[in-house]
A and B are shown apart, each in its own frame.
Chain A
Amino acid sequence: MMETDRKDGRTPNQLRMLSCSRNILHRAHGSASWSQGETKVLAAVYGPNAGTKKNEDPEKACIEVIWKPKTGQIGKAEKECEMIMKKTIQSICLLTINPNTTTSVVVQVVNDDGALLPCAINAACAALVDAGIPMKHLAVAICCCVAEEGSVLLDPTKLEEQQMRGFAYIVFPNSALSALPKGSSLVDGEPLEHGIITSVTHGVMSVDEYLRCVGRGRAACAKLSDVLRRSLQKSES
């Protein structure tokens, strides 16, 4: 087993300090901030508002994502993030409940220190719950990177992301805890939580390394979903 020494002293499987707070913006219908180490993202949800946008299906609710970078103008990278987030959120929300409405999710990057898109997806998920948008299940996102020798590190900082051979952002579903009897949600012999909702990779890696990233990411997502649930339960007192 190769042990890579990380600059901040973490083990390969260790995530950074996670924190999540909800209901921080009082004018928005729902809001949340999510931080992983130094990376911090603020998400606000406004909706559902009446009417859908031009080319969208009026039989379903429409989700709109606006990504605001920390500095600089909105360019292609931001548009791509918007599209990925929109498709991810569309797959976890129940779109048929409020047809012909638009829900806007505004994502503001407060600080970027690696794993930005996963952080944003987690923040958006918490904000959607805060706003009361109906969802099938929650989503948890994680970033895994592959080092030169092939070892997998979780939750890289920006410096690590740039130095590594490749990295992957992966989003998993997070279904209801123990409300269903065990074994009822098996698909192809794997429980529902094992499917990938979204995956975006950068850099090259072998297929095995990618599958290892997916496996490690899945295991780590349990911890992330714990933090998410705890913060959701905290405010209901």
Chain B
Amino acid sequence: MRLVDSSGDLSGEMEVDAFRRLFPLRYYERHLAESIRPDGRPLGMARDTTLALGAVSSADGSALAKIGSTTMLAAIKMEVMTPSAESPDEGCIAIEFHMPPICSPIVRPGRPAEAAVVVSKQLSDTILSSGMIDLKELALVNADGALFDAALLSAVAAFSHLQIPVVSLNDKGKIVAFTEEGDTVGKLEKEAVNKEKRKLTLGNIPFSLTCTLHKKHILADPSSEEESIMETLVTVVMDSSDRLVSFYKPGGPALAYTSLVTDCVRLTRQRMKELEKILDEAFSGMEVD
């Protein structure tokens, strides 16, 4: 692309928007030289994150997470099932990740986006690896970079919000969910196995941070524009007991040296503290009602 070099002088005369579209990499590099990003964030800072618990009232647990403009909705439905013979006292988690066309112009109806499949698999791996524990549905409402982070955050929040509904044994000896409304005579014979809704006890909670690497700079929490220009992505997931759950770097032109690895981990630790605070605040906000 020789044109890029020769028209470097024109950049002063072109409008900023045009320069951003035509030469995205140089636009970013000019910003990186000043250690800042186009939206004014310093390199290591993540976008504003908000969390809303209980977004879907018909689900047993749900949460809506927003990181910048990436919005993710998670809902958990619990089902009574017979456990498998090999692990009779364990339940199971099935995770579905949907990317409906509403979220981004590159997704078309009918064909699932490549990212959807990969993110859902990554998510299953992370949640199962980190030792947390039912059916889960995640829907991406708006895609603006760092999909995995938003997905994990909303999933974690939904699990925290989850309250296991009351179950009881019916006459045939099968476990049935106890509905709150309506008591017919027949139902009075059943005893509730657990008297009240209880919350799921969570093990170590995982939090994640996605960064892009470009030459020597690490950019935390990229937006979709930044993701598309800088092709190397690293996602680090750590849990609250400071263990590494996952270090995911799928290829990409930039190589990760030890110093970069430790830097990414350090940024993730910082982000983890921020996220823990946000989760706690969202919780205490809920318990007040």
Q: Which residues of A contact B (CB under 8 A)?
A: 55, 76-77, 79-80, 83-84, 86-91, 166, 168, 171, 173, 187-188, 190, 192, 194-207, 209-211, 214
Please report the C-alpha to C-alpha distance between residue A91 and residue B118 in the assembled complex, in whole angstroms. Answer: 19
Minimum Cβ distance to chain B for residue A235 (Å): 27
Instruction: Known contacts A84-B251, A201-B244; decide if A77 and B121 are in contact (CB<8 Å).
Output: yes
Question: Chain B: which residue is nearest A210 at the CB level?
Answer: B244
| Partner of A80 from B117, B243, B252 at Cβ < 8 Å | B117
> Are B249 and A198 in touch, CB under 8 angstroms?
yes
Which A residues touch B244, using CB under 8 A? 201, 204-207, 209-210
| Partner of B250 from A87, A168, A210 at Cβ < 8 Å | A87
Minimum Cβ distance to chain B for residue A234 (Å): 28
Instruction: Known contacts A196-B261, A205-B243, A214-B258; decide if A166 and B129 are in contact (CB<8 Å).
Output: yes
**CB contacts between A and B, total, < 8 Å:** 105
Please report the C-alpha to C-alpha distance between residue A168 and residue B248 in the assembled complex, in whole angstroms. Answer: 10
Please report the total number of B residues contacting A with Cβ < 8 Å. Answer: 32
Instruction: Known contacts A76-B117, A166-B129, A204-B131; decide if A190 and B248 are in contact (CB<8 Å).
Output: no
Known A84-B250, A207-B262; 15 more pairs at CB < 8 Å: A79-B118, A83-B114, A83-B250, A87-B251, A88-B251, A90-B251, A91-B251, A173-B255, A187-B255, A195-B256, A196-B255, A197-B252, A199-B256, A204-B245, A207-B244
Considering residues A80, A173, A194, which has the most beta carbons from chain B within 10 angstroms of its beta carbon?
A80
Which A residues touch B265, using CB under 8 A? 207
> Are B118 and A190 in touch, CB under 8 angstroms?
no
Interface of B is mostly: mixed
Minimum Cβ distance to chain A for residue B18 (Å): 20
> Are B130 and A80 in touch, CB under 8 angstroms?
no
Question: Chain A: which residue is nearest B129 at the CB level?
Answer: A203
B227 within 8 A of A: no
Question: Chain A: which residue is nearest B114 at the CB level?
Answer: A83
Q: Which residues of B contact A (CB under 8 A)?
A: 106, 114, 117-118, 120-122, 125, 129-131, 239, 242-253, 255-259, 261-262, 265
Instruction: Known contacts A77-B121, A79-B114; decide if A200 and B250 are in contact (CB<8 Å).
Output: yes
> Are B249 and A196 in touch, CB under 8 angstroms?
yes
Question: Chain A: which residue is nearest B204 at the CB level?
Answer: A204
Instruction: Known contacts A190-B257, A195-B257; decide if A83 and B249 are in contact (CB<8 Å).
Output: no
Please report the C-alpha to C-alpha distance between residue A79 and residue B246 in the assembled complex, in whole angstroms. Answer: 19
Question: Chain B: which residue is nearest A208 at the CB level?
Answer: B244
Please report the C-alpha to C-alpha distance between residue A91 and residue B231 in the assembled complex, in whole angstroms. Answer: 10
Which B residues touch A171, using CB under 8 A? 251
Please report the C-alpha to C-alpha distance between residue A210 and residue B155 in the assembled complex, in whole angstroms. Answer: 25
Question: Chain A: which residue is nearest B117 at the CB level?
Answer: A79
Please report the C-alpha to C-alpha distance between residue A206 and residue B245 in the assembled complex, in whole angstroms. Answer: 8
Which B residues touch A199, using CB under 8 A? 247-249, 256
Minimum Cβ distance to chain B for residue A148 (Å): 13
Which A residues touch B255, using CB under 8 A? 173, 187, 192, 195-197
Please report the C-alpha to C-alpha distance between residue A173 and residue B118 in the assembled complex, in whole angstroms. Answer: 24
Minimum Cβ distance to chain A for residue B182 (Å): 40
Minimum Cβ distance to chain A for residue B158 (Å): 21
Question: Chain A: which residue is nearest B95 at the CB level?
Answer: A76
- What would be 29 A-B contacts, judged by CB atoms less than 8 Å apart? A55-B106, A76-B120, A79-B117, A80-B118, A86-B251, A87-B250, A89-B251, A91-B253, A188-B259, A190-B257, A190-B259, A194-B257, A194-B258, A195-B257, A196-B256, A196-B257, A196-B261, A198-B250, A202-B129, A202-B246, A203-B129, A204-B131, A204-B244, A205-B244, A206-B242, A207-B244, A210-B247, A210-B261, A211-B258
